[in-house]
Each structure stands twice: as C-alpha cells, then as structure tokens.
Amino acid sequence: MNAPLHIHRFTIEPVDSRRFASLCGQFNEHLQLIEQRLGIEVRNRGNEFELIGEQALTRSAEAVLRQLYRETRDNGELTPDTVHLFLQESGLESLSEALHDSSNHKPVVLRTRKMTIQPRGPNQQAYVRSILDHDINFGIGPAGTGKTYLAVACAVDALEREQVRRILLVRPAVEAGEKLGFLPGDLAQKIDPYLRPLYDALYEMLGFEQVAKLIEKQVIEVAPLAYMRGRTLNNSFIILDESQNTTLEQMKMFLTRIGFGSTAVITGDTTQVDLPRGTRSGLIHVTEVLKGVKGIGFTEFKSKDVVRHPLVQRIVEAYDRFDQTQEQARMERQERHSKPDSSNDG
C-alpha cells in the first residue's frame, strides 16, 4: 500500500527577494531538482512553502531548504551543483529510495507532446521507475524489449517537464559487419543512419517539425561516442544506445562525462557484440564492475519481455537454447581434456 501523501507548510525568514530568487534558481530549477531527487512536490509563494509527499521526506526537505537559504546569505548565489551536493550529503536521496522501495507503486505513465506511453509488464515498469529514481541506468537484453524506446520516452518527458535542458543520443561507431569508412560523409553523417531507431521514436513522440527545431537549436544532439571525450554533460538526459559495442575504455570515458543534474541510460544486448575478435565489450565488463554500486540501476530483460511479433520472442529463445547447448558441449570437452589419462597407470 502506498504511504499517504502529507502536506507540510512552513515559512522561511527573513524575507529577502534576492536570496529567495537564488534559493529557487532560474525558472525554479533548484526546486525542480529537489522535486526530482526526492519524489516530492514543492510549491511556494515568496517565503511561504508547501511540500507534498511522504512525511519523513517533506520534513527533511524543509531542513535542506532552510540550510540552502542560509547559504545564500553566507556564500551568495546558489548553483545546481551546490543543491545537488547538499542533497547528496544530507542522505535524503537514500531515504527517498528506501521509502519508494517499501511501497507498491502505481503504474508509471510517461506523457509527451503527441502521445501517452505506459510501459508494458512489470519489467518495463521497473525499468522506467529505475530511470526516474537513479542518475545512471543500464537496460540490458534482447532486441524488441523496449529498452531504447522507453529511454527516449523518459528523455522527452524530462525535457518537456524542464527537468533537463537537452537530450543527447549517443552510439559507438561500430555496427554488425559494416565498414563505416566506405560510407559517404564525415563521422556524424556516417553514423546517422544507425541512429534511425532513436529518430523514429522522437518523431513519434514530438512530431517531425518539433524534432527538427530542437536539433537545430541543439536542444537535441545526436553524436558518435567518440565526440563525448573531454566534455562534461550537465542538466542533460543522455542515452548511450548499442553500448555492447563500446570498449572498456570508451565505457569508462562515457560514464565519467556525466555532470550535475544529468540522467544517463545505457542500453545494449550482450549477445550482439560486433567488436573485433579479442576485444572485450565495455557493457559486459561494466556490469561486473558496477553491480551493487549505490545510485546505479540495472534492468535485465529476457525473451519473455519482447513486445514485437511473437516470432521474435521465439527466435530469441531459440538462440538462447542453442548458445546454452554450445556452452555445455564446450565445458564437457574441456572437462574430458583436463582429466588425466589413466591408461598409463601401472
């Protein structure tokens, strides 16, 4: 059962319009950051505040708002980075996660300019909820499970609610059996056709003209992974698609680009690695390195989560069975070869 929502009202003194403007941030971005991180609603008129959410969170959020207001007196202008660090150090995000995990969630629904998207089944619901609750998320599994489509839906939803300022769509420049050097254009133009699934999702959710305008204004940016080096991405929603084709170094580079106020979703299928033989996939490696790290979400999709033609699910299952049979046969051969030859024993 969901915990009842609590309305918590309070005022902050003394009244100083400059300091309150700094506390709220440009276009209320600081208050929106607190809402996003804690899963509460923040309303204010001047120095009068109203917080709506779980009681433990709203009372703790009041303490953070008062502390941030004191910061505006002692240290001047607040930045989103300062607000982020206060939330991190206060332990409020951990409290928010614990409260949300202990209750049954209502079905998640995402709303964009042209449509409403409701994830299908418990695994898609858990995936979207993980994206909403964590800064870094991994969606791993076969094609047709909605990993990329739902990530784009979350990105558009966050952009339209002004939780982020831009969307970045990123892919490694490696594809199944293709040689990018033979394609016309620069690297961005070469990789553009491979980003078609991302474009198609954007067109469906926002409309062709709106997507074109946002790309022109660089609110939506489409880039090869190589273009991420040296950048710090703040207040952004970043999707790294087909991440099974990243190397270990590329994956580490990408994850360390993420700045304050940003959400990253990394999608991929570990059975579809197209890297040169002997090169280990950064996605396979990172699941071992980061599994269990606090603040990072992992969702693993199976063949039963495929939402395409029923035959797609059967094809995925057939490949899984074949791979398991091959692996079992390989292990049996290894075991036979590793046993000592007893025929020479006296």
Domain with CATH 3.40.50.300 in the chain: 110-310+316-320
CA–CA distance, 274 with 85 (Å, rounded to integer): 39
pLDDT in tens, 280-333: 999 999 999 998 888 899 999 987 777 655 566 677 778 878 888 888 888 888
Read off the pLDDT band of 130 (50, 70, 90). very high
Higher-scoring residue by pLDDT: 226, 132? 132
**Residue range 110-310+316-320 in CATH 3.40.50.300:** yes
Residue 162's region, left for phi above 0, alpha for psi from -120 to 50, else beta, is left
Q: Lowest mean pLDDT: which of 120-129, 214-223, 275-284?
A: 120-129
- Residue range(s) of every CATH 3.30.1370.10 domain in the chain: 6-101
CA 251 – CA 275 distance, rounded (Å): 13
The strand pairing partners of 169, in sequence order, are 222, 239
* Pair 264, 240: CB distance under 8 Å: yes
Least confident of 43-52, 229-238, 334-343: 334-343
The amino acid occupying position 256 is T
Other beta carbons within 10 angstroms of residue 109's beta carbon come to 11
For residue 119, give every residue at least 6 positions away whose Cβ sits within 8 Å of its Cβ, in sequence order, or none. Answer: 107, 108, 110, 125, 127, 128, 146, 150
Residue 99 binned pLDDT confidence (cut-offs 50, 70, 90):
low
Q: What topology does CATH give the domain 6-101?
A: Ribosomal Protein S8; Chain: A, domain 1 (3.30.1370)
Predicted confidence band at 178 (pLDDT cuts at 50, 70, 90)?
A: very low
